[in-house]
Amino acid sequence: MNLEDWFLKGMTAQAYVDSMDHHKEDLIYIYENFDVSAKDHPFFEQLQKRNLRALILTEDWCGDAMMNIPIFLRLAEASHIHTHFLLRDENPDLMDQYLTNGTSRSIPKIIVINSKGEEICNWGPRAPELQQFIDESSASLPQKDDQEFKAKQKEMLRFVIKAYRGNQDLWNYVYEDLKKTLKY
């Protein structure tokens, strides 16, 4: 299938949110509390003229998706970028075309296409500053074969989710990186 077909197969943002079992409240919280900057309206007007669409590969259990998706949706609304969603695990043929570092099915992955269904750019799974935050948060974890690893990893993931939900600096890193990618 080409990207146009994948886009048509995708569900709307509302259908995706309605289907969520995990992180739904946090995603909605970020969506309701994040606003795009008024100074960026000329940028949004330029994007509107390009008639772009986006396809997001995601899963509702993903903390990165929980934070990145509502920020992208706000940017997409301001830019009139019609957005559809596909679940990563149900669409491995597409996901495998967008592996992180050539090996990882990291999400979310946002694929922006033009009116002809041609890829313009893609983004994800996270902004560089968030990768640094994750790397620093993971640095103190014990080795994977350590009996404490799973408990410490769960604790770290709770910390990360709490930061993703409440730290607006992290939200702004995502917003700025998304804008940088869309400027191409």
**What mean pLDDT comes out for the span 32-60?**
96
Q: Given this model, what pLDDT does residue 86 score?
A: 98
- What is the pLDDT, as a whole number, of residue 9? 97
Q: If you average pLDDT over residues 48-66, what whole number do you get? A: 96
- Domain extent, residue 161, equals 3-183
DSSP assignment letter at 3: H
Per the structure, the count of domains in the chain is: 1
* 31-41 residue pLDDT tens: 999 999 999 99
Cβ pair 112, 120 in contact under 8 A: yes
- What are 79's two structure tokens? 């830019």
Longest dimension (CA), the chain: 55
What is the structure's pLDDT at 94? 96
What is the pLDDT confidence band of residue 67, given thresholds at 50, 70 and 90? very high
Look at residues 110, 106, 52, 68 and name the one whose alpha carbon lies nearest to residue 85.
110
Is the pLDDT confidence value at 166 over 90?
yes
Find the helix or strand (DSSP H, E) in which 163 lies: helix 149-166
Residue 184 has pLDDT above 80, yes or no: no
- pLDDT of amino acid 130: 94
Which two tokens mark 120?
A: 């313009």
- Interval 41-46 mean pLDDT: 96
Residue 30 pLDDT class (50, 70, 90 cuts): very high
pLDDT at 162 over 80: yes
Where residue 40 sits, what CATH number does that domain have?
3.40.30.10
Residue 1: per-residue pLDDT: 85
